[in-house]
Structure formats: C-alpha cells, structure tokens
Amino acid sequence: MVQALQFKGIIPPVSTIFNQNRKLDEHGMGILIDYLIEAKVNGLFFLGTGGEFSQMSFSERIEVAEFAVRYVNKRVPVLIGTGSTSTREAISLSKHAESIEADGVVIINPYYWSLTEERLFEHYREIAESIHIPILLYNFPNLTGQDLQPDFVLRLVDEHSNIVGIKETIDSISHISEMITKVKGVHPHFSVFCGFDNHQLSTLQLGGDGTISASGNFAPQLSTEIYKAFTNGKIDKAVSFQKQLAVVSQLYNIDTPFVNVIKEATKICGLDISTYVLPPARMLSEEKIKQVRRTLEIAKVL
C-alpha cells in the first residue's frame, strides 16, 4: 500500500521562551504558539536548533516537550527534536515523545564524534526500531560536521518505514534536488523540507514539500503565502513573497548563534515575549537590536 505524505507546508522551528532565570516561560511560549497557529502554519517543531535544545539538560528537554504537546492540544501536528550525541539519550527522548503523543520526532545526527557511515546507520536504525511514530531526519552539516547524503538517506528509508522526511539545512539547492530525486522519487511519501529561507520556492518547484526555518517565528505570513501561492499556481505572487523573504534572511548575519536575533525579531514584530537565551548565547546589544529592526523595516515585515 502506498503511504500518504504525512508532513508538508510551513512548520516553524519554535523558539523556546525563557524567563530571566532561564527557566521555561510557559506564558510566553503560549503567546508564540497561539500566534503561529493563528497564522495557519502546518505544524510546529519544538527543540530544534533555534529552540536551544543543545544547551538544555535532559529534564529541561522533557519539560519543553510535555508543555508543547499539552498546550498545542492537537490543533496542529507537533514535532519534537530528540537528537543527541548519545544514541541512548536520543532513544530515551524519542520514546518519551511517543509516550506523550507527539506526532513525530526530528533527529539530528550526532555532532561531536566523527562516525563512519555504518556507525551512523546503526545509530538511526536503533532509534527507528525503538519507536513507532514518524521520524524526520535533520541534516545540518555546518553544525554536525557530517552531511546526510541522499544515498545514505535512501538506504535508511528503504529499511525503516517510520523515517518519513528530512529537514535539509544546507545551502545547496543541488543537494536538496538530489534528495528529492533519489529518495522522494522512490518513496513519494517522504517529505523534503528546506531549512534556509532562500531555498523555499526552489524546493517547492523541485518537488519538495515545504520549509522549516526560523523566520517562521516572527514572519510566518511570508512563508505561508509563498506556499499557498505556489500550491495555487500563482508563481508570480510566490516570487514576490520570496524576494521579501530574502531580505529577512539577512537577519542571520547579525549575530551567531542567531537564536537571540530570532527572539528579538519576534518581539519587535509585536509579540510580548521575553528574549532571554541560554549561554553561551547572549542577549543582543542595543545596536544589534536596531539592526534587526532596520532589516525588518526594509523587508516590509513591520
């Protein structure tokens, strides 16, 4: 039986909102979640890179996952990031996500040790065999040091039916194109998402399925309009919004890591949230906050 496409469209990687003590701010999270659902996104991804998962303890990640699933309350699909440098921890986090009825998990490959392809395959195999809910792979070679190649991904999908998609955070449209051709060409149910704003329209035109990018936190209307225009055959309109989104992408150059930029942009766009981040990330200086505002004004987001 042919499997149906499970995930598509615009799925923002939601910022985790903290109070001044760097504890989960449930009120602020609720404001952001409600805003994104009202913006008609197609799902929400918690504990990704922009969600600062890499700076959290195991218990903090559990707390965020439980709140997210409970608060969203089935209004849109919820994906939980469960990647780790440890296979055992990734399995524990994934089993927990399944137990709280998350709709799927997103798993970045280990990002400290260099792994042979076989060891990486075994890592994903053990996780896939430990749960039944859908898995999206997360390819971010600039941070992990290891690219998930299309042939490798195809082998995983051939053997594990619950691996149903990938987030391609890679600045190579040819890589995304090859992923679509080689993997989606064999498994039409497999979802291919780009992680960089600049590739959204190109990914859709090549046969991909959507975008999981941080700008969805503060300007979800741009990504959702591109997606809607494309699916309705209004390419000129999609191109116009894509040009606007390209200006927004300049925000990522203001600071590294960019999690602080996303939170400040979200606040400037009108959401009453705190902008605390987990160290070693730091809050933006007033001058950089002004740069964020200027960029948003140029992009005509404000």
Q: pLDDT tens, 190-235?
A: 999 999 999 999 999 999 999 999 999 999 999 999 999 999 999 9
Q: Is residue 85 part of a domain?
A: yes
Q: Which residues does 122 contact at the CB level (< 8 Å), separation at least 6? A: none
Confidence of residue 1 (pLDDT cuts 50, 70, 90): very low
Q: Looking at residue 147, what is its pLDDT?
A: 97
Q: Looking at residue 99, what is its pLDDT?
A: 98
For 104, the 3-state DSSP assignment is strand
Q: Is residue 281 part of a domain?
A: no
Q: How many C-beta neighbours within 10 Å does residue 161 have? A: 14
Given the residues 167, 184, 227, 252, the one annotated as active site: 167
Nearest to 193 by CA among 219, 170, 212, 216: 212
Q: Averaged over 179-190, what is the pLDDT?
A: 97
Q: How far apart are the first and last CA of the chain?
A: 47
Confidence of residue 5 (pLDDT cuts 50, 70, 90): confident
Kindly state the tokens that stand for 33. 């979640």
Q: Averaged over 97-102, what is the pLDDT?
A: 98
Q: pLDDT tens, 230-286?
A: 999 999 999 999 999 999 999 999 999 999 999 999 999 999 999 999 999 999 999
Q: Is residue 25 part of a domain?
A: yes
For 71, the 3-state DSSP assignment is helix
β-pairing, 104-108 vs 210-211, is unpaired
Q: Is residue 301 part of a domain?
A: no
Q: For position 87, which CATH number holds?
A: 3.20.20.70
Task: State yes or no: is 167 an active-site residue.
Answer: yes
Q: Looking at residue 3, what is its pLDDT?
A: 73
Given the residues 124, 138, 227, 276, the one annotated as active site: 138
Domain of 171, in residue numbers:
9-219
Q: Is residue 208 part of a domain?
A: yes
Q: How many C-beta neighbours within 10 Å does residue 91 have? A: 19
Torsion of CA 225, 231, 233, 237, to 10 degrees: 10
Task: State yes or no: is 124 an active-site residue.
Answer: no
- List 137's β-bridge partners, or say none: 107, 166
DSSP code at position 234: -
Q: Is residue 225 part of a domain?
A: no
Q: Is residue 250 part of a domain?
A: no
For 97, the 3-state DSSP assignment is helix
Q: Averaged over 104-125, what is the pLDDT?
A: 97
Q: Is residue 263 part of a domain?
A: no
Residue type, 17: I
Q: Looking at residue 57, what is its pLDDT?
A: 98
Residue 294 has pLDDT above 50, yes or no: yes
Given the residues 16, 49, 203, 211, the one annotated as active site: 49
Q: Averaged over 33-55, what is the pLDDT?
A: 98
Task: State yes or no: is 112 an active-site residue.
Answer: yes
Q: Averaged over 134-155, what is the pLDDT?
A: 97
Q: pLDDT tens, 53-87?
A: 999 999 999 999 999 999 999 999 999 999 999 99
Mean pLDDT of the chain: 97
Task: State yes or no: is 252 an active-site residue.
Answer: no
The count of domains in the chain is: 1
Residue 141 has pLDDT above 90, yes or no: yes
Q: Note whether 243 and 257 are within 8 A (CB).
A: no
Nearest to 87 by CA among 127, 116, 118: 127
Torsion of CA 168, 301, 226, 154, to 10 degrees: 10
Q: Looking at residue 48, what is its pLDDT?
A: 98
